[in-house]
Structure 1
Amino acid sequence: MWEKRVEVRPPYNFDRVIERLSLDPLINLDEKERTVKVPFYFNQEPIVVTVKAIGTTDLPVFLVSGEVDDAMEYALQRVTHIFQWNVPLEEIQTHFLPTDLRAIFLEHRGTPLVLDFDPYLSLMKCIIHQQVNMSFAFTLTARFVKTFGKEIDGTWIYPTPEVISKIAIQDLRELQFSGRKAEYVIDTSKLIVEGSLELFELYKKSDEEITETLVKIRGIGHWTAQNFLLFALGRQNLFPMADIGIQNAIKKLYKLEKKPTYEQMEAYSRLWEPYLSYASLYLWRSIE
């Protein structure tokens, strides 16, 4: 058993993180204890790491612990990336204070962009969540993981592409996947297993290169590629204008009678660069 104390540059509001993560029924967390269980694979074996907040927004401190001693360095790298502990949120907030998003950033001060726990799971979620409402999207994803993944002490471990590449379309249809969505999930998993799509190699590429790679895959459009860039890789300057939540948040912010056009959204967002991802996050927060 190992345990490591991690101090993070303030502000960092972990209670906002838990609040957002609690929307996902798959995530094992305890709001009172301020802990989140993070599953991932190490040397192809599933392990679970515990992240516990023991500080405050202005003095953020965490205890990270796990059972596998050899995995400590790798686990610390992963949780640092997932919880974006190396991102200067104070600088980002300062950037937004002179903009129309000032009130939202002050209200949600120190809210980080928390990533999905694994790039493969993130891509599968992006495909599963296409063209369905949020509630059903979480339901479908939970069925997917609980049917083909594993459970360790109450924490669900997502399935691997090797497992999903071998299942039949009917296996997903029984979980209420559409035929097309089932095909996209299985076929994309096969590309990963074959080596045609190397997810961890995408970290080294630009946003444009990643988007170009992903949209060539059947069933992956620009919305899915942008969400992957946001929630798997943590890229900081993405603004998914096709997202209904973003549209509704802007409509509310500017008191519009109808949803904004892309031209309006582009005009509003010019002053938000190069942190459009955080503009997106805080706009989502403003209507949740």
Structure 2
Amino acid sequence: MFEQFSHSNFHSICDKLAAGDPDLALIIQNHGYPPLWSRPNSFETLVHIILEQQVSLASALSALNKLRERVQEITPARVLLLTDEEFKACYCSRQKTAYIKYLAEAIISGQIDLEAMEQMPDDVIRTKLTALKGIGNWTVDVYLMFVLQHTDVFPIGDLAAVNALKRVKNLQKDILKEDLLAVTEQWKPYRTVAAMLLWHYYLSQRAPVPTKPSRKV
């Protein structure tokens, strides 16, 4: 079964990780605890995550806000009424327009039930969501971490988290993905919170500090 984190246990999990890893302890010592990034379990949130694929957070948010202006409330039924030209006017690429439509249709048909996913383990959620065109492992990782707040997910496809891991652990730039994942094994069952510490470190190296993790893939 999956474990979740919340405001009530987030700092204690950070402390557990710090007690077992001096590099993570140093992040907290130098930069404090990371924010507990979270998002509601909604169609709009998944649309937002799709829009964030391979672009800056600012660009994705701009597109999301344009969609909000166009339909008032981002629901499956409402976005399916939009033409491709209207999506384009909302800064949505042809590919992402298709992905959003696939997701909307899957929710309307009952193929995807977001509320039911709150009781499902990671592997079942990953299988269901990645069956949809345009939703890959990174998108599922973000959903599991920020929306469902499952504790043991490391987003190996996220550039910011991976680059921070390499810096904090002084790893070779060309280290294999499998070897990176092996490094994260020491943080089980709290790899999500470890990743948040790494994002916190990554963002703290930059000024001004954004409000969310950096570009992801």
Report the CA distance between 1:266 and its aligned residue: 1.5
Q: Residues of 2 paired with 1:258 and 1:128: CA distance?
A: 28
Q: Residue by residue, what CA displacement relative to the aligned partner does 1:258-277 show, whole Å, maximum 9, x if unpaired?
A: 25421331222111111100
- The 1:93–1:108 alpha-carbon spacing in structure 2 relative to 1, beyond 3 Å, is farther
Aligned equivalent of 1:275? 190
Aligned equivalent of 2:16? 94
Which ranges in structure 1 are unaligned for 5 or more consecutive residues?
Answer: 1-80, 150-157
Q: How does 1:203-242 map to 2 (within 5 A)?
A: 203-242=118-157
Equivalent AA in structure 2 for residue 84 of structure 1? S
Report the CA distance between 1:123 and its aligned residue: 0.9
Report the CA distance between 1:139 and its aligned residue: 2.0
Is the 1:126–1:227 contact (alpha carbons within 8 Å) kept by the matching residues of 2?
yes
Equivalent AA in structure 1 for residue 26 of structure 2? A
Equivalent AA in structure 1 for residue 8 of structure 2? N
Report the CA distance between 1:176 and its aligned residue: 2.2
Q: Does 1:123 align with 2:46?
A: yes
TM-score by length of 1: 0.63
Moved more, 164-173 or 202-211: 164-173
Query: Aligned Cα RMSD in Å?
Result: 2.2
Aligned equivalent of 1:105? 28
Q: Residues of 2 paired with 1:245 and 1:176: CA distance?
A: 24
Aligned length: 199
Q: Residue by residue, what CA displacement relative to the aligned partner does 1:205-256 show, whole Å, maximum 9, x if unpaired?
A: 0000000000001111111111111111111100011111012112221334
Equivalent AA in structure 2 for residue 134 of structure 1? L
Report the CA distance between 1:189 and its aligned residue: 1.0
Aligned equivalent of 2:212? none
Larger radius of gyration, structure 1 or 2?
1
Describe the SS at the equivalent of 2:20: coil
Is the 2:152–2:189 contact (alpha carbons within 8 Å) kept by the matching residues of 1?
yes
Aligned equivalent of 1:31? none
Q: Residues of 2 paired with 1:261 and 1:139: CA distance?
A: 34
Is the 1:90–1:110 contact (alpha carbons within 8 Å) kept by the matching residues of 2?
no
Which ranges in structure 2 are unaligned for 5 or more consecutive residues?
Answer: 204-217
Is the 1:97–1:105 contact (alpha carbons within 8 Å) kept by the matching residues of 2?
no
The correspondence for 1:178, drawn from 85, 93, 108, is: 93
Relative contact order (alpha carbons < 8 A, sep ≥ 6): 1 or 2 greater?
2
- Structure with more strand by fraction: 1
The correspondence for 1:264, drawn from 173, 179, 186, is: 179
Is the 1:235–1:277 contact (alpha carbons within 8 Å) kept by the matching residues of 2?
yes
TM-score by length of 2: 0.82
- The 1:284–1:95 alpha-carbon spacing in structure 2 relative to 1, beyond 3 Å, is closer
Equivalent AA in structure 1 for residue 168 of structure 2? L
